[in-house]
Structure 1
């Protein structure tokens, strides 16, 4: 039962983190930066990748 609660919390936190990372990636300032220099903010990558990892770990906890 405890693993299922942890899994659900990880999935929810992962979805929120991935959405936060995508919002940073899609922001106006990030688009201008990508157009001028080609760099993507590290916060966007950390949010999206961390969110996906948390979702995957959460799914394995639910099994």
Structure 2
């Protein structure tokens, strides 16, 4: 059961990282980065959430 959850988290994390990458490279994010010095909040949250989900998913898959 843990392997299925780990695999699901890995897939969800990969999807979130994909959306985060696209949001980070969007025109809105580039304008926000030009004005404020940081990308949009959505891009950051997608990237952080995706990275956490991938790490937890890998941990669940590699755990014996």
TM range (shorter): 0.7 to 0.9
| Separation of aligned partners in 1, 2:38 and 2:58 | 32
Task: Measure the CA separation in 2 of the matches of 1:32 and 1:10.
Answer: 32
Structure 2: distance between partners of 1:62 and 1:36: 41
Say what the alpha-carbon RMSD is for the aligned residues.
Answer: 1.1
TM-score (norm 1): 0.87
Q: SS where residue 17 of structure 1 aligns?
A: helix
Give me the TM-score of the superposition, normalised by structure 2: 0.86
| Separation (CA, whole Å) in 2 of partners of 1:60 and 1:17 | 18
How far off its partner does 1:38 sit? Answer: 1.9
Matched position secondary structure for 1:39: coil
Aligned length: 62
Shift of 1:22: 1.3
Name segments (4+ residues, structure 1) moved above 4 Å. Answer: none
Instruction: Show structure 2 runs of 5+ residues with no match.
Output: none
Instruction: After superposing the two structures, state which structure 1 stretch, 36-45 or 13-22, moved more.
Output: 36-45
- Report the alpha carbon displacement of residue 16 of structure 1 after superposing the two structures with TM: 0.4
